C-alpha cells in the first residue's frame, strides 16, 4: 500500500485533509513532522493556514524548506492554500516574508478597496469560486472546466511564469488558483472542503505518477 505523508509543521487543518485523502482511498495517510517518514513516503501533501510569517518561521526552524525542495522533486507533491503560497518566492503579508521559492512569483494582498462592477468585495475572499483550467493536467481528470472550489484567502498568487499556471480564478482581479511543474502541483483553494470536485482532485493525486 502506498503512503501519503501530510506534512505537519503546526500550521494547517491537517485532520480534514487526512480524512479526505483516506475517504478517496489514497492509501496509508500519515500526518507527520518526522523528516524520515516524509522522505520515505510515496506522495507528499503540504497544507497550511494562517499567517505566512508564522508558517515560514516554523518551516525554516524545522528545516522543512529544504525537505520540501527535496521531496517535491521526485514524487507527487501537493501544496494547499498557504502551503501553496509558501512555495512562491516572497509574500507581501506581514511587511514581506521570504518563502521557499520553488515557483517564481509573489503573493499579493487583494487590497482593502477590492471591487467588481462597482460592487465592493469582501476580503478575505471566502467561499465558492470557479476555477478555469488553463492547461490539461492529470489532476483535472473528470473535473469539468470552471468547476467551483472553496477558497479562504486574503492574498493571491501573482505567478512569475505564466506557463506554470494550470488553473485561474477571479475575484476582483485574476489570480493563479493552481500551479504545476513536474511532480509539483499546488492549489489556492481547499480540495478537502470542496465536496465532489475537491475529492476528485485528491483521488487524481492519489493515482498520479508525478509525470506531466
Instruction: Verify whether residue 137 is a known catalytic residue.
Output: no
Do 80 and 202 form a contact (C-beta atoms < 8 A)? no
Sort 114 into a burial class: Cβ within 10 Å, 0-12 / 13-18 / 19+.
Answer: middle
State the catalytic residue, choosing from 55, 153, 192, 197.
192
Kind plus residue range of the DSSP H or E element containing 187: strand 184-187
3 vs 29: CA distance, rounded Å: 6
The yes-or-no answer on residue 192 being catalytic is yes
The residue count of the chain comes to 212
- Find the catalytic residue in 55, 81, 93, 153: 81
Tell me whether residue 71 is exposed, middle or buried, using C-beta atoms within 10 angstroms of its C-beta: 0 to 12, 13 to 18, 19 or more.
buried
> Active-site residue 99, yes or no?
no
Distance CA 55, CA 24 (A): 28
Among 125, 153, 190, 197, which one carries the catalytic annotation?
A: 190
What does the block give as the cell for 37? Answer: 517518514
Question: What residues act catalytically?
Answer: 81, 190, 192
Amino acid at each position: 500500500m502506498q503512503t501519503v505523508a501530510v506534512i505537519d509543521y503546526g500550521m494547517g487543518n491537517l485532520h480534514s485533509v487526512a480524512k479526505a485523502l483516506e475517504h478517496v482511498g489514497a492509501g496509508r495517510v500519515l500526518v507527520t513532522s518526522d523528516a524520515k517518514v516524509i522522505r520515505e513516503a510515496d506522495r507528499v501533501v503540504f497544507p497550511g493556514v494562517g499567517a505566512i510569517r508564522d508558517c515560514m518561521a516554523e518551516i525554516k526552524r524545522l528545516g522543512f524548506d529544504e525537505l520540501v525542495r527535496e521531496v517535491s522533486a521526485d514524487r507527487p507533491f501537493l501544496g494547499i492554500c498557504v502551503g501553496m503560497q509558501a512555495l512562491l518566492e516572497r509574500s507581501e503579508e506581514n511587511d514581506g516574508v521570504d518563502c521557499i521559492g520553488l515557483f517564481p512569483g509573489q503573493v499579493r494582498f487583494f487590497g482593502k478597496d477590492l471591487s467588481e462592477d462597482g460592487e465592493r468585495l469582501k476580503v478575505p475572499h471566502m467561499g465558492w469560486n470557479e476555477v478555469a483550467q488553463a492547461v490539461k493536467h492529470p489532476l483535472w481528470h473528470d473535473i469539468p472546466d470552471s468547476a467551483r472550489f472553496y477558497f479562504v484567502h486574503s492574498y493571491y498568487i501573482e505567478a512569475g511564469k505564466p506557463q506554470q499556471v494550470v488553473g485561474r480564478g477571479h475575484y476582483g482581479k485574476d489570480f493563479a488558483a493552481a500551479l504545476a511543474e513536474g511532480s509539483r502541483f499546488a492549489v489556492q483553494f481547499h480540495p478537502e472542503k470542496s465536496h465532489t470536485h475537491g475529492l476528485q482532485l485528491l483521488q487524481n493525486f492519489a493515482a498520479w505518477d508525478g509525470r506531466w
